[in-house]
Structure 1
Amino acid sequence: MNVLIVEDQSIVRQGLKLMLEQDSQIKRVAEAENGEEAIKKMEELVIDLVLMDIRMPVMNGIEATRVIKSRWPHVKILMLTTFNDDEYAIQALKYGANAFLLKTSDQKVLLDAVHSCFQGGMPINEEVAAKVMPRLLQRVDKSLKSHSRLVSRILQD
């Protein structure tokens, strides 16, 4: 698999690259410093999976995810951030992110998540999932109630 790391901090980007290059199933590891640069790399290279930071200058990871998924829907995006923020996670997932991990994850967790994501899984950090799932279920419940009321009105008419 070909991976693109999108991270504005050089030392973090280099550390991620070293970890990924130790995996024999990863053929190429490309790098970008922000979302705008990531889109340019996507146009130049064949990329299977993007490791995407959220907070970056020029274009943040959420906006870059939205653009990449709209142009290359088959590409998997694993959000990797220091921010355990449920709103970031909800936005990222809304725009098509396939996974959400914290940068505090160790190498094994990261590599397992990369492989799972690539194979169609949806690894989400447990702390983030604990915050996000109740909010998503609440939204689904509101939507179902609204839909149920609409159906009832239609049937009454």
Structure 2
Amino acid sequence: MIKVLIADDQELIRHSLQIVLSNKQNIEVTDAVADGQEVIRSVRKNKPDVILMDIRMPKMDGVQCTKIIKENYPEIKIIILTTFDDDEYIYDALKYGASGYLLKGVSMDELVNAIQTVYSGRAMINPDIATKVVRLFSQMAKADFFIDTGQKAEQELTKTELKIIEQIEYGLSNKEIADALNLSEGTVRNYISTILNKLKLRDRTQLAIWAIQAKIGKKGLNMERHNENE
């Protein structure tokens, strides 16, 4: 059962989502709230798996709320819902750890699919803004958003960890990485957790940006300076 929290300042949208999602198999709506402060209170009480987060809410908007939630509950997945495909919102929401970004108006089947997708550990971006997201990620990977992990930490990466980072750089999901490297999904998740700890990175998004900056894919895996242990 996937526990979902709905956050939207428009009562009609909030209640409509609650009614429809409550009737879906394997989805439990834990709460439906109107602003970011209520999101934080509800998260503390109900511990949802996925939050559907409106970008524009009173008291605390969806971007700031995403930042706070991901800092304190990194395991919770957040899908940003908005009628505005604004660059600043896309950039910040993804930078702070949102797993998905959908424009309001998507079908309920698409929304349910998005919930299931992010719950499984993958990202879900609305096709209408996918091109813009790619461009923004490219900008984030430039010097004005440089991520320095330190040379010593990088040297501690094993060959298998480098292979996994390379796959993340290419945008592969945990399942796709597991299939490509003949590993289980659980093993891939454990490797990613170890990699994030070694590099002192917050999440998969930062890891992907660092991999682009470090040109992991272009360097290939013939890197003698790295730990030979698997």
CA distance in 1, matches of 2:116, 2:140: 30
Runs of 4+ in 1 over 6 A off after TM superposition: none
What is the Cα deviation at residue 95 of structure 1?
A: 0.7
What is the Cα deviation at residue 16 of structure 1?
A: 0.9
Match of 2:188 in 1: none
What is the Cα deviation at residue 135 of structure 1?
A: 2.6
Match of 1:89 in 2: 90
After TM superposition, the score normalised by the length of structure 2 is: 0.60
Match of 2:116 in 1: 115
Instruction: Give the letter aligned to residue 86 of structure 1.
Output: D
- Structure 1 vs Structure 2 CA RMSD: 2.0
Helix, strand or coil at the partner of 2:79: strand
What is the Cα deviation at residue 141 of structure 1?
A: 4.7
The question of whether the paired residues in 2 share the 8 Å contact of 1:17 and 1:29 is answered with no
Cα gap change, 1:98/1:147 in structure 2, threshold over 3 Å: closer, same or farther?
closer
CA distance in 2, matches of 1:147, 1:50: 32
In the TM superposition, what are the counterparts of 1:28-43 in structure 2 within 5 Å?
28-43=29-44
CA distance in 2, matches of 1:109, 1:21: 16
Instruction: Give the letter aligned to residue 38 of structure 2.
Output: E
What is the Cα deviation at residue 147 of structure 1?
A: 7.3
Match of 1:135 in 2: 136
In structure 1, the gaps of 5 or more residues are 149-157
Q: Kindly, what percent of the aligned residue pairs are identical?
A: 37
In the TM superposition, what are the counterparts of 1:70-89 in structure 2 within 5 Å?
70-89=71-90
In the TM superposition, what are the counterparts of 1:1-157 in structure 2 within 5 Å?
1-142=2-143
Instruction: Give the letter aligned to residue 35 of structure 1.
Output: G
Instruction: Give the letter aligned to residue 77 of structure 1.
Output: I
CA distance in 2, matches of 1:87, 1:127: 16
The question of whether the paired residues in 1 share the 8 Å contact of 2:30 and 2:48 is answered with no
Helix, strand or coil at the partner of 2:141: helix
Q: Which has the larger radius of gyration?
A: 2
The question of whether the paired residues in 2 share the 8 Å contact of 1:21 and 1:29 is answered with no
The question of whether the paired residues in 1 share the 8 Å contact of 2:21 and 2:29 is answered with no
After TM superposition, the score normalised by the length of structure 1 is: 0.87
The question of whether the paired residues in 2 share the 8 Å contact of 1:35 and 1:61 is answered with yes
What is the Cα deviation at residue 46 of structure 1?
A: 2.2
Number of positions where the alignment pairs a residue of Structure 1 with one of Structure 2: 148
Cα gap change, 1:137/1:41 in structure 2, threshold over 3 Å: closer, same or farther?
same
Say which structure, 1 or 2, has more relative contact order (CA 8 Å, 6+ apart): 1
Helix, strand or coil at the partner of 1:120: coil
What is the Cα deviation at residue 134 of structure 1?
A: 1.5
Helix, strand or coil at the partner of 1:31: strand
Match of 1:153 in 2: none
What is the Cα deviation at residue 66 of structure 1?
A: 0.5
Helix, strand or coil at the partner of 1:27: strand
